[in-house]
Structure 1
Amino acid sequence: MDAYFSYSNNAAGRDKIFRLIQYTSKFAAWHAMQHGNSDDVVKQLTNLEKAIGTSRKLFRLGRSAESMRAARRAVNLQDYILAMTLTISHTNKAMYLLIDHYVWLGRIGVLTVDQKYWNDKSSRFWLLSLILHVIRDLYALRVSTEKSLEDRHRETPNSKEGIGDMLKAILYALRRNPQASIDLIKNGCDIVIPASSLGIINTNSGVVGMCGMISSVLAAVQITCSKLKLVPN
């Protein structure tokens, strides 16, 4: 119980709790619709998802500035691939959040906002940010794979590398670098959400809800266990 209170007192931790409830509600609404539940049940679950989604937009106010600071830090990284992917990713995330703030003002009636247009704009920035983060995750796994092959070559210098050796090196890299592996799965699941919203992939709200649930749980795991968080990120 103490661990839960400690986690929920963290702003990022609270967001992941609400995010999990949001996408669980989305999945539950789809599941209820598929199994012929009453329209009232589906409506209640849909309204819960929308209410939490709007609340999370409020909680994220000011987070765009944090992303811009992260982008400035990433510029100074020694590794040029990390510097490029993380700088552009954080910049796009900042734009996504900035537009998100604007959409929230429209939802609560402070401004007149074309919700469809600006939601699409926000989704494009978010999608690009996630794609760059996936590239960063794959790069981290590639480095781990190369190190594994180097270790194997030192142990047996005259051996030739075959497909089997490469697959073993990749599997070893996945175990050796769980931070990148978890991050890759998390970002891969998240990509489905804006890609589906933009019509890039054709899927249903059940798949979107499930992907959101998985990525929320993995993000919560990274927050709870800092050793599983990929750095720099």
Structure 2
Amino acid sequence: MASVASQLILHPVASRALKLLNTTLGRDKLYRAVQYFARFLAWFLLSREYKIEAARWNALKSHLALARKLLRLGKPLENLQAVLRALQTSGESGEQITTIGRHLGYFGYLTLDTLVWANAVKFFNLKPSTAEKVNKNANRFWFAGILFSITHSLLKAGRLANEIKKLQSSGSWGEKGAETDRDMKLQALRSAREATRYQFTLDMLDVWLPAANIGLVNFNDGILGLCGLITSLMALRQQWIAVSKN
């Protein structure tokens, strides 16, 4: 029995899970997955008149949303650093502009979201009308950031597709070293295109969350909960792969 317990506790998957949860991003994405699952389940239970059970999951959703705001304190600085790096690098102007717009959008969102958190924990008190306005503006910045991210993915995917097509149509280069170099470049371009498509899919699902919060769409909590759950699991998968490489 002790041997079985040791194998389970020391299993490589358990070790990777601990590495994942040792990162702030890993914990945030896990909390986010549970938060949006709770949102979906609360809607599902409420639609079937299970009000007491739904209230339990609604409370969990609200507490996790508040906890995640605390985890994101300081992240606006990362977005400002990304803006500066984008300004200092050369490349496609469209991709550069959308990268800057995306990070400025996320900077505005996370900065205002910090004010929402501070008000929620009573660090300072905002008038209800002011708190609502701050929350709505935060979601506007979030929505803008995702739109810039979607545009960036489209521009980058188009550029990568053209580069791949151009490299493939170049034909045989004759020399073995040149062929190997071309294959490596093709592999790198395809990997980049795959990552770009993955991000595009994630953004196309996530965009409905702030869109609903600012009243652009009228989706119910079931749809929004599923969108958030799927994108959380997608982001969690990316972080799992990242920590597994270390």
TM-score (norm 1): 0.84
Tell me the CA shift for residue 181 of structure 1: 1.1
Query: RMSD of aligned C-alpha atoms?
Result: 2.0
Match among 219, 224, 227 for residue 240 of structure 2: 224
Amino acid at match of 2:119: G
Does the CA contact (< 8 Å) of 1:76 and 1:83 recur in 2? no
Tell me the CA shift for residue 144 of structure 1: 2.4
Listed as ranges, the matches of 1:153-232 within 5 Å are 153-154=169-170, 177-226=193-242
Match of 1:3 in 2: 16
Per-residue deviation, residues 42-96 of structure 1 (Å, max 9, x unmatched): 1111111000001111111111111111111111221122221111211121111
The 2-side partners of 1:174 and 1:119 are apart by 39
Match of 1:18 in 2: 31
Q: Which has the larger radius of gyration?
A: 2
Question: Is 2:77 the counterpart of 1:65?
Answer: yes
Amino acid at match of 1:47: A
Per-residue deviation, residues 133-174 of structure 1 (Å, max 9, x unmatched): 11111112111221343356545xxxxxxxxxxxxxxxxx98
After superposition, the Cα gap between the structure-2 partners of 1:91 and 1:175, relative to the gap in structure 1 and judged at 3 Å, is closer
Does the CA contact (< 8 Å) of 2:106 and 2:142 recur in 1? yes
Match of 2:118 in 1: 105
Does the CA contact (< 8 Å) of 1:90 and 1:129 recur in 2? yes
Amino acid at match of 1:65: L
Unaligned runs of 5+ in 1: 156-172, 228-233
- Structure 1 counterpart SS, 2:73: coil
Does the CA contact (< 8 Å) of 1:141 and 1:174 recur in 2? no
Amino acid at match of 2:116: V
Amino acid at match of 1:44: R
Match among 105, 130, 135 for residue 146 of structure 2: 130
Match among 76, 81, 93 for residue 88 of structure 2: 76
The 2-side partners of 1:185 and 1:174 are apart by 16
The 2-side partners of 1:60 and 1:145 are apart by 35
After superposition, the Cα gap between the structure-2 partners of 1:176 and 1:72, relative to the gap in structure 1 and judged at 3 Å, is closer
Higher relative contact order (CA 8 A, sep 6+): 2
Question: Is 2:53 the counterpart of 1:41?
Answer: yes
The 2-side partners of 1:91 and 1:198 are apart by 19
The 2-side partners of 1:76 and 1:57 are apart by 30
Q: Which sits farther off after the overlay, 213-222 or 109-118?
A: 109-118
Does the CA contact (< 8 Å) of 1:22 and 1:48 recur in 2? yes
The 2-side partners of 1:65 and 1:150 are apart by 39
Q: Which sits farther off after the overlay, 46-55 or 69-78?
A: 69-78
Amino acid at match of 1:29: A
- Structure 2 counterpart SS, 1:177: helix
Amino acid at match of 1:78: S
The 1-side partners of 2:157 and 2:34 are apart by 31
Tell me the CA shift for residue 112 of structure 1: 1.8
* Percent identity of paired positions between Structure 1 and Structure 2: 23
Amino acid at match of 2:104: T
Tell me the CA shift for residue 22 of structure 1: 0.5
Unaligned runs of 5+ in 2: 1-13, 172-188
Match of 1:143 in 2: 159
